[in-house]
């Protein structure tokens, strides 16, 4: 993780209460998708996720059955073997990783060994370019503490007076 990315994560932790209130207010904002999508495009043109990989190092995606089937097939494993080795069911009854960092993350270069087959949640992370952002504002707030790009989006929203 580079220094600028660290700075935005530190800001998100420091401003956690303020950001939580801001994300609560955002639910009433019109054209919220437009704001997030334009920031997403702008930030991910300059950000290389391979310099960070904090999401892969600290959190688990939710693994759907189709993800488990696809990845276990790629790894020449039965789905039951795969889940026993890598996953468990959490308190929300979702499949999640047994450990962090992700077992498929190469810690030397931040590359994913199953990148072409990765779960949908990984492909879509940090979810700031999806439709109906109001439906996932709580998740987006939590992602400010994990993803420097989302933390930077929060700072940009504050600067715009959102």
In a domain, 63, yes or no: yes
Regions in the chain scoring below 50 on pLDDT: none
What per-residue confidence (pLDDT) applies to 30? 81
In a domain, 82, yes or no: yes
Query: How far is residue 162's CA from residue 154's CA, in Å, rounded to a whole number?
Result: 9
In a domain, 65, yes or no: yes
* Residue 135 and residue 116 in one domain: no
* Residue 69 and residue 107 in one domain: yes
In a domain, 9, yes or no: no
* Residue 117 and residue 62 in one domain: yes
* Residue 120 and residue 132 in one domain: no
* Residue 104 and residue 148 in one domain: no
Q: How many other C-beta atoms lie within 10 A of the C-beta of residue 139?
A: 13
Task: Provide the number of structural domains found in the chain.
Answer: 2
* Residue 99 and residue 134 in one domain: no
* Residue 140 and residue 156 in one domain: yes
- Domain hosting 136: range is 127-162
In a domain, 43, yes or no: no
What per-residue confidence (pLDDT) applies to 1? 87
Q: Judge whether 150 and 40 are in contact, CB under 8 Å.
A: no
In a domain, 14, yes or no: no
In a domain, 5, yes or no: no
Give the tens place of pLDDT for each residue, 49-74: 999 999 999 999 999 999 999 999 99
Those residues whose C-beta lies under 8 Å from the C-beta of residue 20, and which sit 6 or more positions away, are 141
Query: How far is residue 72's CA from residue 64's CA, in Å, rounded to a whole number?
Result: 12
* Residue 105 and residue 148 in one domain: no
Helix ranges, the chain (H): 3-14, 16-26, 32-46, 54-58, 65-74, 79-86, 120-124, 137-143, 148-159
* Residue 85 and residue 118 in one domain: yes
């Amino acid at each position: 993780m580079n220094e600028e990315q660290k700075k935005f994560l530190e800001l998100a932790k420091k401003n956690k209460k303020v950001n939580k209130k801001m994300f609560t207010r955002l639910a009433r904002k019109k054209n919220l998708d437009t704001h997030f999508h334009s920031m997403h495009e702008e930030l991910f043109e300059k950000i290389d996720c391979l310099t960070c990989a904090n999401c892969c190092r600290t959190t688990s995606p939710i693994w759907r059955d189709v993800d488990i089937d696809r990845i276990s097939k790629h790894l020449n494993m039965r789905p039951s073997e795969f889940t026993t080795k890598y996953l468990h069911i959490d308190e929300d009854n979702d499949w999640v990783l047994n450990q962090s960092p992700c077992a498929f993350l190469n810690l030397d270069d931040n590359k994913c060994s199953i990148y072409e087959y990765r779960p949908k949640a990984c492909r879509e992370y940090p979810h700031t370019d999806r439709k109906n952002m109001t439906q996932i504002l709580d998740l987006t707030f939590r992602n400010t503490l994990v993803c420097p790009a989302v933390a930077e989006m929060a700072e940009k929203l504050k600067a715009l007076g959102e």
